[in-house]
Amino acid sequence: MRKERTFAMIKPDAVQRGFIGEIISRFEKKGIKIVAMKLVAVDRNLAEKHYEVHKGKPFFEPTIQYITSSPVVAMVLEGFNVIEMVRAMTGATNPQNAAMGTIRGDFGQFIGRNIIHASDGKDTASFEINLWFSPQEIAQYSRIDEQWLTE
Ligand code: CMP
């Protein structure tokens, strides 16, 4: 397994509903390392860049409105196979289809209010990390439990 990084964003609905701690806690308990994190009032420019692959789709404008409506918590997560692992913890894009036990399955109801975003692949992760964070904002450190997480 490769050590990699992914980008995750706790969306405005989850921040407003008080789920920041719950969501971060799930990543911490899984042993995933948080290497960067910040609360961001997202402007239209950043939102459009983040969702540029969806430009022209019917949900593009409502999604921009949603993401810019209230602050989000952006983070970079690090670990072995972390891109796939975080996607699994996040659940299906539509909370109606997301399994119970996943973040969207447990806390969401509507696709337009789906709690969290997580990068869907290696290229997306790299694009999103560079879009949201400067290299100086990403910390390199060891967690004391690392030797107990790996074989
Ligand atoms: P996210 O994983 O951040 O990627 C695209 C986002 O667009 C998605 O989560 C939802 O917040 C939003 N969205 C709204 N409607 C749709 C839709 N019909 N299909 C996909 N994404 C949608």
- pTM for this prediction: 0.97
Q: Atom 4, ligand 1: which residue's CA is nearest? A: 117
CATH of residue 86's domain is 3.30.70.141
DSSP letters spanning 63-76? HHHHHTSS-EEEEE
With 90 as the cut, is the pLDDT of residue 60 above it?
Answer: yes
Largest CA distance in the chain: 47
Ligand 1 centroid to 15 CA: how many Å? Answer: 17
Q: pLDDT tens digits for 92-143?
A: 999 999 999 999 999 999 999 999 999 999 999 999 999 999 999 999 999 9
With 90 as the cut, is the pLDDT of residue 2 above it?
Answer: no
H/E segment holding residue 32? none
The C-alpha R_g of the chain, in whole angstroms, comes to 15
Provide the domain limits for residue 130: 3-43+71-139
Q: Cβ contacts of residue 44 below 8 Å, gap of 6+?
A: 64, 68
User: Distance between CA 52 and CA 147 in Å, rounded?
Assistant: 39
53 occurs within a structural domain: no
Catalytic residue among 117, 118, 119, 132: 117
Q: pLDDT tens digits for 22-53?
A: 999 999 999 999 999 999 999 999 999 999 99
Q: What is the pLDDT of residue 151?
A: 87
